[in-house]
């Protein structure tokens, strides 16, 4: 029975698993991502974890595929993630040489859409978009049954779509006005402070967030909104409207039949995230509004995608 190894390399955790063609994961290992060493530290960690998989399964592996934090350099088979302490990490060549198997590398959101397409709710759907709303915002796209990659594998950096032409907030990428700068977990606090500057002090003083503004987290904003806090609710409404604009841009660009949402910010706040999108996306979208739902693969969606890629994505 053929098996495939999947690796989900995140800034926090590395997940390594081995599975079969129908999507069953037979063995899985999760460890904290190493944070010190040289440009081969990550590939060494991955190789050691793969070596811990049951040998009889590993012997039947046909490929090893990686879904990873980016940015990726496909030519060098390396990554240079800003939130890991390695300037560059080589992945493809050391892992391929160690196991004598083909190794492909995808950005994590692309791996996620592959996971949905073959093992999730995207089965049989030719026009499919996966959107993650977590510390950042990203996406993966199948159009007409084909995975979109672009020249450098960056065909759908949807978190960096411009949604505010005045560019009041600066994005982590350095540019202004991007979707992610207003609606991602890392940036909702900035957005909260921006909105706070423009409302009356008396209204702000009544908010649970008033004393916390300088250090507020996105979780605190959502939690306060869930308690009925007026200011927090207005922030979440604004985030929701900007998400609706982001989703409309995605719908207008790719004409999907189905959009699947993942990422911790979305999955921890399903109602507060989805309702404003559904209410307002029609104000901005010209294409038919597709079905929009949450992933059922949780934080393993990228791992499923990396395994699916071994069977279904030929290089
Ligand atoms: Zn950006």
Residuewise pLDDT in 10s, the chain (315 residues) = 999 999 999 988 999 999 999 999 999 999 999 999 999 999 999 999 999 999 999 999 999 999 999 889 999 999 998 878 899 999 999 999 999 999 999 999 999 999 999 999 999 999 999 999 999 999 999 999 999 988 777 777 899 999 999 999 999 889 999 999 999 999 999 999 999 999 999 989 999 999 999 999 999 999 999 999 999 999 999 999 999 999 999 999 999 999 999 999 999 999 999 999 999 999 999 999 999 999 999 989 999 999 999 999 986
Predicted pLDDT at 45:
98
Are the C-beta atoms of residues 90 and 78 closer than 8 Å to each other? yes
Tell me the CA–centroid distance for residue 203 and ligand 1, in Å. 31
Tell me the CA–centroid distance for residue 83 and ligand 1, in Å. 15
Tell me the CA–centroid distance for residue 79 and ligand 1, in Å. 18
The pair of three-digit structure tokens given for residue 120, joined into one six-digit string: 């999730």
Tell me the CA–centroid distance for residue 168 and ligand 1, in Å. 13
Tell me the CA–centroid distance for residue 177 and ligand 1, in Å. 8
Tell me the CA–centroid distance for residue 171 and ligand 1, in Å. 5
Tell me the CA–centroid distance for residue 87 and ligand 1, in Å. 20
Tell me the CA–centroid distance for residue 179 and ligand 1, in Å. 7
Predicted pLDDT at 83:
78
Tell me the CA–centroid distance for residue 61 and ligand 1, in Å. 38
Tell me the CA–centroid distance for residue 30 and ligand 1, in Å. 30
Residue in the block written with tokens 């026009």: 127
Q: What's the whole-model pTM score?
A: 0.94
Tell me the CA–centroid distance for residue 136 and ligand 1, in Å. 9
Tell me the CA–centroid distance for residue 141 and ligand 1, in Å. 19
Predicted pLDDT at 132:
96
Tell me the CA–centroid distance for residue 170 and ligand 1, in Å. 8
Tell me the CA–centroid distance for residue 312 and ligand 1, in Å. 31
Tell me the CA–centroid distance for residue 287 and ligand 1, in Å. 25
Beta strand pairing call for 258-262 and 291-294: parallel
Predicted pLDDT at 189:
98
Tell me the CA–centroid distance for residue 178 and ligand 1, in Å. 5
Residue in the block written with tokens 């993942």: 262
Q: Which residues pair with 84 in a beta bridge?
A: none
Kindly calculate the radius of gyration of the chain based on its CA atoms and give it in whole angstroms: 20
Tell me the CA–centroid distance for residue 158 and ligand 1, in Å. 9
Q: What CA–CA distances, in Å, run from 152 to 67, 71, 77, 85, 147?
A: 15, 10, 12, 23, 13
Burial of residue 291 (CB within 10 Å: 0-12, 13-18, 19+) is exposed
Predicted pLDDT at 96:
98
Burial of residue 130 (CB within 10 Å: 0-12, 13-18, 19+) is buried
């Amino acid at each position: 029975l053929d098996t495939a190894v999947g690796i989900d390399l995140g800034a926090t955790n590395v997940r390594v698993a081995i599975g079969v063609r129908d999507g069953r994961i037979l063995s899985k290992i999760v460890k904290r991502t190493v944070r010190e060493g040289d440009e081969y530290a990550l590939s060494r960690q991955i190789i050691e974890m793969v070596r811990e998989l049951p040998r009889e399964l590993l012997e039947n592996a046909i490929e090893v595929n990686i879904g990873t934090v980016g940015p990726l350099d496909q030519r060098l088979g390396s990554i240079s993630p800003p939130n890991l302490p390695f300037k560059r990490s080589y992945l493809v060549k050391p892992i391929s040489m160690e196991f004598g198997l083909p190794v492909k590398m995808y950005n994590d959101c692309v791996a996620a859409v592959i996971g949905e397409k073959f093992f999730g709710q995207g089965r049989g759907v030719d026009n499919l978009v996966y959107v993650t709303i977590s510390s950042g915002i990203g996406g993966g796209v199948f159009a007409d049954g084909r995975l979109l990659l672009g020249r450098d594998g960056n065909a759908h950096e949807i978190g960096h779509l411009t949604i505010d032409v005045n560019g009041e907030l600066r994005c982590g990428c350095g540019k202004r006005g991007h979707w992610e700068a207003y609606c991602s977990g890392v940036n909702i606090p900035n957005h909260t402070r921006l909105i706070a500057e423009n409302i009356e002090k008396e209204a702000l003083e009544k908010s649970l967030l008033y004393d916390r503004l300088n250090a507020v987290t996105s979780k605190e904003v959502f939690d306060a909104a869930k308690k009925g806090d007026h200011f927090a609710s207005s922030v979440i409404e604004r985030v929701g409207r900007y998400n609706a604009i982001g989703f409309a841009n995605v719908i207008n660009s790719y004409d999907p039949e189905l959009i699947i949402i993942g990422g911790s910010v979305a999955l921890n706040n399903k109602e507060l995230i989805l309702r404003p999108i559904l209410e307002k996306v029609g104000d901005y979208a010209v294409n038919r509004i597709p079905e929009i739902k949450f992933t059922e693969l949780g934080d393993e969606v990228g791992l499923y995608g990396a395994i699916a890629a071994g069977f279904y994505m030929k290089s």
